Amino acid sequence: MEVAWGSPAVEMTEPSTNLDQMCLMVADLLEFMPVSRDLRLAAGTGHRLRLAFSQSLGLYLGVYMHAPKRGQFCVFQLVSTESNRYSLDHISSLFSSQETLVDFALTSAEIWALWHNEENQTVVKYINFEQNVAGQWNQVFVQPLPEEEVTVRQDQDPREIYLEYLFMPGRFTNAAIQKALQIFSQGTERHMDLMWDELRKEVTLAVENEFQGSVTEYECSPEEFWQLQVEFWSKFYACCLQYQEALSRPLALHLNPYTSMVCLLKKGSMSFLVPCSLVDHLYLLSNEHLLTEDDAAIFEDLEMSRDVVCLVQCLRLIGESISMEMAFIMEMACSRLQPPEKAAEQILEDLIANDTENVMEDIHSKLQEIRNPIHAIGLLIREMDYETDADMERAPHLALRMSLSQLFGSSTAAHVVCGGVAKICSVRFLLCRDLLILQQLLLRLGDPMVLGGGQLFQSQQDLLHRTSPLLLSYFLIRWASQCLASDVPVDTLESNLQHLSVLELADTTALTPHKLVSGPQTIVELFFQEVARKHIISRLFLQPNTSSLAETSLNWPHLITSIVTDFLPLLWPSNPSFLFPECLMGSCQYTQLQEYIRLLQPWCHVNMGSCCFMMGRCYLVMGEGHKALDCFCQAASEVGREEFLDRLIQPEEGEVVSTPRLQYYNKVLRLLEMLGLPELVIELATLAIMESADDWRSQATLRTCIFKHHLDLGHNSEAYVALTQNPDPSRQLDCLRQLVVVLCERSQLQDLVEFPYVNLHNEVVGIIESHARAVDLMTHNYYELLYAFHVYRHNYRKAGTVMFEYGMRLGREVRTLRGLQKQGNCFLAAINCLRLIRPEYAWIVQPASGAVYERPGASPKRSHDGECMAVPSTRQIEILELEDLERECLLARIRLTLVEHDVSAAAVAGNSTPEETVSLLVRAGLFDSAITLCQTFKLPLTPIFEGLTFKCINLQLGGEAAQAKAWDWLAANQLSALVTTKESSATDEAWRLLSSYLERYPSQNSLYHRCVINKLLAHGIPLPNWLINSYKEVDAAELLRLYLNYDLLEEAVDLVLEYVDAVLGKGHQYFGIEVPLSPASPTMWLPYTAIDQLLQALRESSASENSVVLYEKLNDRMEDYQQKVSVATMERLYCRP
């Protein structure tokens, strides 16, 4: 079907099979309008035709017929008859003004029209042609253009003021500013697709460059500089205003027939038309439309409707009389937290003082027409108040309806919804301002007739105090609608998420970084997209009582009205819902949140504790910890009364439930601990202790917290006090253990020793002992700490026991030179301790070996088959006295001497027994130390003589290298004065050392001589003369036996011959014989058995000629000796009386 027309007529054609068109209907539209002959002859220009379809009524045809100085809309319904014939039923005819029609849209009930008036301004109107009998068009309030001039006071920075005005959300589009920037920069650079913050920087740079390029003088006064800045910024602003006007000019009107959405299509953007509430509608209507408004369409009570209309007329009169300076007074009062009532009173005084057009008289006369002004004002206030009695139910997850999950989820939808909210708040702020001024006027008049039958002064005051919070609420939401959200980095969001997880608020919002690309995002838009949208959509569509809304869910006017209506209570400051500030906190908008609470706190008494908590979070982010703590403490008084704080203190699973305020303190303490603020943790925990007087578990937790952070800060005394005040013994012991370890690691041992430890003495000793026995001895000094601990308390026996155990373990576990040095010092310290007490008490208990210590946490010992071995419950106690400790000290000192001489011996010398140490000393050549050790522990010197003899043999058989090396160990022994008559070798010195030892340390039965000679003869070394002479003097018979044992027959014969001569008086002094053989001498004897064995050996070796000679020589001498012995014996017998 096609529509063709020239002059006002309608022709309908239908295509045939041969592509020819057939006319179905022709209608002359001039029949439906009053026309003259001139109109019939005029050319058909400016006419419009639109179609609309209704499923119930069919096709509608709307025709706009243009005539000079007037226009007319005709609406027809297309009716089909038999034989495919059609006719038009006339529904309505509507007349329009002389404005120029740009476009119009038709529905089955309404006509929407876009006009340009005589001032070339955009006008949008609509009318319901079915119900509006009077033909009255409804006005649509379109977004006005920005002001042509920006007022900058002398005390303001022009750059900041113009930038704030240019980049105010909803005022200028990105495209307009970019085009203005292109022209202002004279086309040198192209500024396309810039993000909002980048565009702001480019604008600043461009204007500043132009400004600096035009300044020719190096110096100018501040006034001239300010004036130049205003000049250049106003020039750029005018350029932006020009492009904004061009881009915002509507080109067409679009109406969606399925959703009834009406949009204005512009060159640079698209505007959405949303329904207007009754209050805003009355306040925005022009005077001529307000006078013709149907009272029945306002309220059912016609008198009340008339009162409200008259009241709105009074408000309009006040609003039109207020200058910019007067409006600024109220703005500043709200911003500076001053009472709005005072500002309204001042504005009223200015209005009365500057009333040149008798506006006050007009208002007074209008007030006379109001039957009950108090009631009308109350009704107007109720219409604008979004306060609810209870918190809105928290919305379920949108996963229940996937089809709704993205509804109104785009940035465009958020901009539309939040723009509607901003518009409502801007209008109602002005309305409340004018209403507040009107109430001040009523109080000033005080006329009972005006006040409607003698209303009480108290009622006037109540209304005044209700209007003031209403004004501040709309001011706050308007501010939030204009406040830009900050661009937050991802790492900041993640850090904030960790903090929220401590508070268990991490699931409140879906946190995503916000990048301002095509335009600024306000914090209200941020809140709508992140939180509010889900709550609103869930509330509208997922509740059981919203079936009617679900049926009309695609109807734009109903849906957008419902969303805005539900959105405003979420933003309303005096409602229990705290989602908006919570969203700002979750999105890291701390600067905005801080300003929001600043504007809210003085007058709003709802969620006061929650606001204090949020302000504390802001202070924490800003680095003002003590201010944050004050806010947290103030919020504690409201715990249990506010929904947000109640969610904050919900206990974790398995957590012991305490009082609500203690749970709150615990959450805040966790947050402060995560942020690393120990001073604040201590201060808050101290305050929380006052709340937990009857809860010892909470007190224990708080005392432990205080102890931990005092210790971290190095406040040792305060940490000790907190430890002693802990009511839980197990926690107290844990804290004590931590105190010991930390102070030891910091080397703050004096504090650790000097604490009194009242009723904790045994515990601290046990802790230090367990750590001393469980850690590396050379890394930690727990034994020395325990020693100082006991000495400080004059418990010297315990101190001595500690140091003795320390020394024992050093010998077992630290087998190094340093370990042996420390071991000696430990034994000396133990000896000193025992010498400081009385002798009868100078003893200690032998410490157990390392395997018997019951170390905390040590794994049980097991046998080879894996079974746990039973630990002996008792052990034998050994008492050590002072002499025992001195012996151990000597042993340790000798071990140290050994290791200093031979470092390689440290691995075995550290825990060696005295016998083992003697062997090591002998091997190292430290014979003096070995002799001292043997004498101290009453050990035989035999190993020493054997070792020294062996070294002499090696020196005698070795070369020059052995000689040179021997001087090291020879120097370590106390040699007698060297012989100076000739040069002495190392071998000679070694033999001389051996000789001196044999002289210095005599033994019973010449044991040491015998062992030396045995060693020499076993190695086939001839006996040195000095040794033979020395042994002859001591025990010649044993020397003879040794000769016989080693088959030294010739040496044995010589020894016997010398021995016989000595007995007979020749050289008797060399054999230790005092008186030779004589009748008067005492009884003497010879080793006949050995001599017989010698003679027998000589006889058996008679094959040797030398043996025969020796045998005869010895045998003759023995026979001679026997004769002399017989003579002496006989003489002695005869001489006996």
Q: For 95-110, what is each residue's pLDDT tens digit? A: 877 678 888 998 888 8
What whole-number percentage of the chain has pLDDT above 90? 25
pLDDT band for 93, please (50, 70, 90 cuts): confident
Q: How confident is the model at residue 619 (pLDDT cuts 50, 70, 90)?
A: very high
- What is the residue-averaged pLDDT of the chain? 82
Residue 1030 has pLDDT above 50, yes or no: yes
How far apart CA 874 and CA 329 sit, in angstroms, is: 92
User: pLDDT grade, residue 544 (50/70/90)?
Assistant: low
Extract the tokens encoding 126. Answer: 């609509």
**Region 439-455: what's the mean pLDDT?**
66
Q: Is 1084 helix (H, G, I), strand (E, B) or coil?
A: coil
Helix, coil or strand: residue 614: helix
Pairwise CA distance, residues 498 & 1102, whole Å: 110
Is the pLDDT score of 1048 beyond 60?
A: yes
The answer to whether the beta carbons of residues 1017 and 1023 sit under 8 Å apart is yes
Contact present, 334 and 472 (Cβ < 8 Å):
yes
> Are the C-beta atoms of residues 404 and 534 closer than 8 Å to each other?
no
Determine contact, residues 839/928, Cβ cutoff 8 Å. no
- Find out whether 862 and 852 touch, Cβ atoms under 8 Å: no
Q: 773 by DSSP, 3-state: which?
A: helix
Q: Give pLDDT tens digits for 907-920.
A: 888 788 999 999 99
Q: 301 vs 389, which has greater pLDDT? A: 301
**Would you state the structure tokens that stand for residue 944, as one six-digit string?**
């020493």
pLDDT bin (cut points 50, 70, 90) of residue 7 is very low
How many angstroms separate the CA atoms of 432 and 423, rounded?
14
Q: What is the pLDDT of residues 406-442, one digit of tens each?
A: 778 888 888 889 999 999 999 999 999 999 999 999 8
Q: What percent of the chain has pLDDT over 70?
A: 84
**Of residues 512 and 240, more confidently modeled:** 240
Query: pLDDT-derived band of residue 453, with 50, 70 and 90 as boundaries?
Result: very low
Mean pLDDT across 757-783: 88
- C-alpha distances (whole Å) from 994 to each of 666, 675, 814, 963, 1001 are 82, 78, 35, 16, 11
User: Which of the given ranges, 67-76, 392-401, 507-516, has the highest pLDDT on average?
Assistant: 67-76
Query: Please, which contacts does 499-505 make with residues 24 or more away whose CB atoms are closer than 8 Å?
Result: 499/671, 499/674, 499/675, 500/585, 500/586, 502/667, 502/670, 502/671, 502/674, 503/648, 503/667, 503/670, 503/671, 504/648, 504/650, 504/652, 504/667, 505/582, 505/586, 505/647, 505/648
In the structure, what pLDDT confidence band is assigned to residue 779 with cuts at 50, 70 and 90? confident
Q: For residue 934, what pLDDT is reported?
A: 92
Predicted pLDDT at 116: 83
HSE on the CB side for 668, CA within 13 Å? 34
pLDDT of 1072 strictly over 80:
no
Mean pLDDT of 452-464: 65
Output DSSP code: residue 403: G
Question: What's residue 728's pLDDT?
Answer: 92
* Average pLDDT score over residue span 735-755: 91
